Every structure is written in C-alpha cells, then in structure tokens.
Amino acid sequence: MSEPRPPARVSFQEELDQLEAALREEGELVLRSLRAAVEAVCSQDVELAEEVIAFDDDIDSQYFEVEQGIELLLARQTPVASDLRLVLALLKDNLHLERMGDLCTTIAKLTKLTKGLPPDDTLLEGFKEMGERAEQMIRVALRSLQQRDRVAAESLLELDELIDRANRRVVNRLLEIGHDLEVREWGLRMILVSRCLERIGDHAVDIGEQTAYLVTGEFREFTDASH
Amino acid sequence: MPPMETTAAPVKIAGMRVETAGARELPAQREVLFDVKDLRVTYAGVPALDGVSLEIYRNYITAFIGPSGCGKSTFIRCFNRLNDMIPSASVEGSVLYHGEDLYGKDVDPVEVRKLIGMVFQKPNPFPKSIYDNIAFGPRVLGMKDGLDERVEQALHQAALWDEVKDRLKESALSLSGGQQQRLCIARCLAVEPEVILMDEPASALDPISTTRIEDLMHELKRNYTIVIVTHNMQQAARVADKTAFFSVDVAPDGNRRTGILVEYDDTSKIFTTPADKRTEDYVTGRFG
C-alpha cells in the first residue's frame, strides 16, 4: 500500500554499483592473465611469461582501486544489512582475485625457470584442462555474484572437484615419469604449476561462498574439508 | 601416504579460544520485564498504533526505530502511562510489568512513573538550582533521608558530578544542553527507578554530548533497563541490544495511517540480516 517514492541514496547506490563493476573488471584482468600464463607454460613461451609477470601490476592497481573505494564507502556511508554484506563480500572477493593474479605470476615465473627443459606432453594437456576449468570457475564465480545466484555459486564446489581430480592426475603422471632424469626437474617445478591452478579454483569457490553469504546472510563454507 | 610418526606431544588447538568480554555484556538469564500483548492505542477513536506484541528484557537496552508517524513515541509512552495525560487517548490490549497489568484498576500511575522514568527529547530542567532539580522527585515522594547523598549518587551515575559538584546551587539553566540532558537523567535516577524510557534523548545534542549519553547508557544498563526511541539508526546500532522496527500501514483509501511493529530482533540481526524487506529498506536508507 506504499505510495511510489523517489529513489533514495542515489549516489550511495552508484558508488556500490561502481565498486561492483570495478571488481568485475578485475576479474576480467585475472582471466586474461590466467589464459596467458597457461599458454606460456604449455608453449614454453618465456616472453609471454614475462608479460604475465608485468601484467600483475595492472591487477594490483585495480585491486587497490577497489580496496580504496570500499574504505571510503565504509567511512562515509556506513552501510548496513544487504549493503553491508555486499561491501564485505566485495572486500574479500577483491583479495581472492588479487591472489589469483599472484598465482598466475607464479606460473609465469616457473615457466621462466624451466626454460629449455624437456616437457611432458601428457602433463601439458593436463594443464590445459586445468586452465580451462579454472577459467570456467572464475566466470561462474563472477556471474553468480553479479546475479546474486546462490545455486550457481554452490555449483562451484562440483567444478572444484573436477579441477582437484585433474590435479591428482598430474601428480600421478609425475610419479610415473619421475624416474626419467631428463624430465625430473621440469616435473618438480610443474607440480607447483598444478598446485597454482588448483588454488585458483579454491579462490573461485571462496568467492562463491561470499555470494551465498550475501544472499542468505549466513556464512558457511561449502565444504568443511580444507581445500 | 602413511601418517607421519611423531613422538612429540600433540599441540592442542581446540580449547584455546579466548572469551572476549565486550561492552555488549548481557545478563546470563534473560528475564522478561514488560510483556506487551496486542496493544492498540487510539486518539479520539483513530488508531495510532495497532497489534503490537513484544517483550522487553531486564537490563537490556531496547531501541524503537521507524519513520515519523509510525507510533514509536506513542508506544514508549505506554510503558509509564504517559498517554493517560491525553484525554482522548485510549489504550487496549495489555502491558504486563513483572507479570502485573500496568493498566490494572489498582495501579497508581504516579507509582508507575517513579519506577519507570522518562527522559525527553529536549532537556527540560526545572528553573531551579542543580541540586533542587535532583532533589525534587525524592522530596515529593517522601524519600527525604540522606538527600545530599542521594543527589550526589544520582549525579555520579549520570556522569555529571565532576562537572557540577562545585556549583550545585547554581541554576540548572546555566548548564550546556548536553549537561542539562544528563541532569534530566540524574533527576530520573534519583527516585530509584527500574526502567528508564528515553524518547530521542540525544536528538537536540551535539555529537560529543551524544556520545556521552550513549556511553552513559552502556553504564546504566548494568542496573537499569533502558528503552529508547531514536531517529538515528546508527545510534540504535551502537547502543541497543534489541531493536524494534515500526512502520506505517496506510489504509487502501489512503486516509488512515496506523503504526505497526514490523520486526523485533537482536540489533545485530536487524542491521546485518533483517528478515523483513521493509526493515531492510528502512535501515539501508532506501525508504524513510
């Protein structure tokens, strides 16, 4: 029975929308970095790896921009209820995205370290698969946040299981080829690459948990097993 | 991989949690002080507030928030029968205080207002000395023994003693607005009430005085039960343990506006995850 009211707190809503858009942009930067990092490691492209490392500065500055926006908004607008939950979720998601960027940088550094060492094609296939899965997870995480879709956010847990399985296959393959001195050093470094991709998936799950918190108001981990 | 064998004593993590004691200390046992059931207040037959039921707990700070005209001030006035002063006002439903009907035939409204004091929006000291302002209530009620001590104690409790102890004979009107409001709180405390009702107690005060009143409320809740009406939502969020959100129900023809209770819960819940969309819209500032 309420009569139509003029919109309230217009500039506050705009600030919130801008913050969310800035976070999505950061997500796009991470996706670019991830694609390039996987491409670099699979094609042993050191030049591309260096680009990935340099590109992390772009992700970091986007991270700082979001961080400062949140700080200012908290200080000036004292958000409560769903606004507060959104700001808290953005604060944490921002950190998760920045971490993903760091993991891409680590992959790029490992690519540089293994320059000239003979790779194993089966493993490279595994990384491609993990990279695609991680990319998909980031997309689902960002979309579920944007659409406030708890069900989609929770589906990240199943996607994470797939990337975890791929990680285990990589480790098993490394155990198989570990006797081969030619590929041993490369293989040891590559365990870390696999781990980085698997961790990117974990961060995507964490973003999904924040979305569920935003929607329901109750925080719970999707799984009590440590990732 | 088999688990690693270790001879060292296991490091215990569980049980190491440190209990944090904060300003939000609440009594171990929640005791219902007021039990309001289906309250309806009308002015000249027109309902100002309808269908309100809630419980107020002892030694809690309970805040009433809501837009203008939602009946929150009308409601707080029911707790010490101040609406009795308005000839056209009528109160239906029940307000139980310690399980007794506050509106029962044998209940003396003056006795009620001694136990349940009220502090108003604008400081309203009597045009008398600081001392006489505090001593007035006890004198009227025949609590004449140890009056000096009573005055001093009330001023201490209201965190005003240090500022006025050397000028007790001066006019209360010489005090600043914030001091006057604390004087009114001291005046309320001097007759040893159990409950302090506060209707917008800080809305006429500057931010520093407001903070002092809020700090004082935290102090007072050890010994008193406090109910506060406030327009300032952040104030409710800062001081209250429980918060009730009232709104206005507009009749389909648009002619009648009645105050209703929308949601009553822990303050933390109201300001993080309110259950009702109307509460959410109000506390986030999207409606008001």
In the beta sheet, which residues pair with residue B96? B35, B101
Residue-wise pLDDT tens digits, A189-214 = 999 999 999 999 999 999 999 999 99
- Tell me the mean pLDDT in the region A26-55: 98
User: For position B286, what pLDDT does the model report?
Assistant: 83
Are the beta carbons of B280 and A3 closer than 8 angstroms? no
What is the value of pTM for the model shown?
0.83
Task: Please name the amino acid found at residue B276.
Answer: D
Q: To the nearest whole percent, how much of chain B has pLDDT over 70?
A: 91
Residue-wise pLDDT tens digits, A75-119 = 989 999 999 999 999 999 999 999 999 999 999 999 999 999 999
| C-alpha A147 chain-centroid distance | 18
User: For position B27, what pLDDT does the model report?
Assistant: 82
8 Å CB contact of B287 and A5: yes
Residue-wise pLDDT tens digits, B232-265 = 999 999 999 999 999 999 888 877 889 999 999 9
User: For position B6, what pLDDT does the model report?
Assistant: 52
Task: Please name the amino acid found at residue B282.
Answer: Y
> Six-digit token pair at B287?
């409606």
For residue B84, give the 3-state DSSP assignment: helix
Are the beta carbons of B285 and A11 closer than 8 angstroms? no
Q: Residues of B83-122 as b/e, b for ≥16 C-beta within 10 angstroms?
A: beeeeebebebebbbeeeebbeeeeeeeebbbebbbbbbe
In angstroms, the CA A67 to CA A217 distance is 22
For residue B16, give the 3-state DSSP assignment: coil
Kind of pairing between the strands at B116-119 and B100-101: unpaired
User: For position B7, what pLDDT does the model report?
Assistant: 55
User: For position B24, what pLDDT does the model report?
Assistant: 62
Q: Which residues of A touch B280 (CB under 8 A)?
A: 81-82
In the beta sheet, which residues pair with residue B243? B63, B265
Q: Which residues of B touch A80 (CB under 8 A)?
A: 233, 237, 271-272, 283-284
Residue-wise pLDDT tens digits, A176-195 = 988 888 888 899 899 999 99
ipTM: 0.76
- Tell me the mean pLDDT in the region B46-61: 96
Residue-wise pLDDT tens digits, B158-178 = 999 999 999 999 999 999 999
User: For position A1, what pLDDT does the model report?
Assistant: 44
More confident residue, A11 or A65: A65
- Tell me the mean pLDDT in the region B188-198: 96
In the beta sheet, which residues pair with residue B264? B244
Residue-wise pLDDT tens digits, B175-190 = 999 999 999 999 999 9
In angstroms, the CA B12 to CA A51 distance is 46
Using alpha carbons, select from B98, B59, B68, B77 the residue that is nearest to residue B221: B59
In angstroms, the CA B75 to CA B94 distance is 12
Q: Which residues of A touch B288 (CB under 8 A)?
A: 8
Are the beta carbons of A211 and A145 closer than 8 angstroms? yes
- Mean pLDDT across chain A, nearest whole number? 93
Residue ranges of chain A whose CB lies within 8 Å of a chain B CB:
1-3, 5, 8-9, 12, 78-85, 217-218
User: For position B2, what pLDDT does the model report?
Assistant: 55
More confident residue, B250 or B12: B250
Q: Flag whether pLDDT at B16 surpasses 90.
A: no
Cross-chain CB nearest to A81 (options B234, B250, B272): B272
Q: Which residues of B touch A82 (CB under 8 A)?
A: 280, 284
For residue A132, give the 3-state DSSP assignment: helix
Phi then psi dihedrals of residue B181, to 5 deg: -65, -40
